[in-house]
Amino acid sequence: MQLSPEELDYLRRRVETAYGKKVENTADCRLLSDKMLSKLNVSLSYQTFRRVFGLIKSSGSFEESVLNSLSRFAGSSDIAALLAEHKQDIDASHKAMVMMYENIFKVDDAHSQKYWLLNDNLIKQAIKDTELMEKLVPVIMKYPAGRVHFLECHPLRDHINTDYRKFFIEYQKYKYNNEAQLFTHGYMGMGDYLSENFVGFKKHYEVIAATELTPAVHHVPAARKFGIPFLYALHTKDEGLFQATLADMEKVRPNYFPSAEWAICSFDYILLGHLILTDKYELFAHILHTSKRQVRDDVTPEKRQIYHREVWKLYDAFAEYHTGNISRAKEVLESFKLDKIDFGHEMYYELHFLSLYKNFVTEKDELKKINSRMKKLIAKTNFSYFNRFLNASILRNHTNNVVANRTKYATTHASTNE
């Protein structure tokens, strides 16, 4: 009988409670074997206990008779009864947690800094627990503070193609103005693009294309008004659409320079997050080098600002590499600290980092390790877009082509830099 990791952990904890202490070594397993024989007149070898408690390698599958004996030792009639008790415990825990957070989010205080920490704690639990996720989605999204801090302020890129996506769908039931349309369809559209679900991506693009960008729209979703069409134009090889989108973007971009003074996650920052998925390297470098950077205090916690600063480094390295300044790119890339990337974005930015970093690697074993790591990250996120970088020569070939024509964009848009 195969138990899930959570079920096996529950069984272990129940057995340890009956035993009176944690099972940490072979001596404990021998004592447990003796106690079971004394208490139940059932003989299980200490080796069985070693497998159950992970002291030696095991598949996690055990004879049902063994699990029944362990369950009886723990105070249940059999393994079925013990697992039913586990389910009841989970349901009670989920109910209490949902009720606690609902009472917190009922208070319409969406601007309170306390929500940043609450969101971090809650989402980390929900991501690992699909049942908790199911219960939280309809509750949290009912409340403005929940929508602001649980989704708008920190949507998780790594999990956009998992059950987490349901938050965006539920969110749309309560908020559907222009800003909400650009936010939800922009984020889900990015998920579909990264997973190469181009049927879904087209639907999100069409909504964004039909949504008017008004002055009331925050600079982050405003950037998706142009970023998603850039990606759609690239995918459909529609250079006319790309140039038309570029012209529209350049008209409104200066409007967002003032907000960039206090927001490290600016209009340009979000725009670059789309263009990094294209081969428009000169445009990417131009926007990066003419962007206005934060000079005043941001409203977001310092931990998140640190994360965004690391992403700016990644952007800098990307631009330098693809415009031919290889040594500078390597220098910037080596200063990039993956451990400073915030929860829910680590895998996505590690994929970007590895896609670029591997171009500086010549040792075959190291390249194999990088490819292996990338494959694992792609499988976890479903970001199949990054499969194209598993061949180390792809980026080099792209760069050679770009560098040969590197002055094209800069010459055409020279006046913008003045």
Cβ neighbours for 55, distance < 8 A, ≥ 6 positions apart: 23, 25, 26, 29, 49
Residue 9 tokens, joined:
């952990």
Give the global pTM. Answer: 0.77
pLDDT tens for the 418 residues of the chain, in order: 888 888 888 899 999 999 998 998 999 999 989 998 989 998 989 999 999 998 887 777 889 999 999 999 999 999 999 999 988 888 888 888 788 778 877 775 655 666 666 777 777 878 888 888 888 888 888 888 888 878 888 889 999 999 899 999 999 999 989 999 999 999 999 999 999 999 999 999 999 999 999 999 999 999 999 999 999 999 999 999 999 999 999 999 999 999 999 988 999 999 999 999 999 999 999 999 999 988 887 777 777 889 999 999 999 999 999 999 999 999 999 999 999 998 899 999 999 999 999 999 999 999 999 999 999 999 999 999 999 999 754 444 444 444 443 434 433 443 333 3
User: Helix and strand tally (H, E) in the chain?
Assistant: 23, 0
The DSSP letter of residue 211 is S
- Provide the 3-class DSSP secondary structure of residue 342: coil
Give the span between the Cα atoms of 192 and 188, in whole angstroms: 6
Contact 49, 32 (CB under 8 A): yes
What confidence score (pLDDT) does residue 110 get? 53
- Which of 128, 403, 107 minimizes the C-alpha distance to 281? 403
The pLDDT tens digits of the residues spanning 101-147 come to 788 777 756 556 666 667 777 778 788 888 888 888 888 888 888 88
- Which of 134, 131, 136, 108 minimizes the C-alpha distance to 121? 136
The DSSP letter of residue 296 is S
- Provide the 3-class DSSP secondary structure of residue 130: helix
What confidence score (pLDDT) does residue 111 get? 58
What confidence score (pLDDT) does residue 235 get? 96
Give the span between the Cα atoms of 261 and 272, in whole angstroms: 17
Contact 264, 305 (CB under 8 A): yes
- Report the chain's C-alpha Rg in angstroms: 26
- Which of 44, 104, 110, 109 minimizes the C-alpha distance to 71? 44
Kindly report the three-state secondary structure assignment for every residue of 110-159.
CCCCHHHHHHHHHHHHHHHCHHHHHHHHHHHCCCHHHHHHHHHCCCCHHH
Phi and psi angles of residue 404, each rounded to the nearest 5 degrees, phi first: -65, -25
Phi and psi angles of residue 61, each rounded to the nearest 5 degrees, phi first: -105, 135
- Which of 298, 401, 313 minimizes the C-alpha distance to 357? 313
The type of residue at 183 is F
Q: How many CA atoms lie within 13 A of 314 on its CB side?
A: 27
What confidence score (pLDDT) does residue 114 get? 66
Residue 92 tokens, joined:
């009670």
Give the span between the Cα atoms of 175 and 179, in whole angstroms: 9
- Provide the 3-class DSSP secondary structure of residue 2: strand
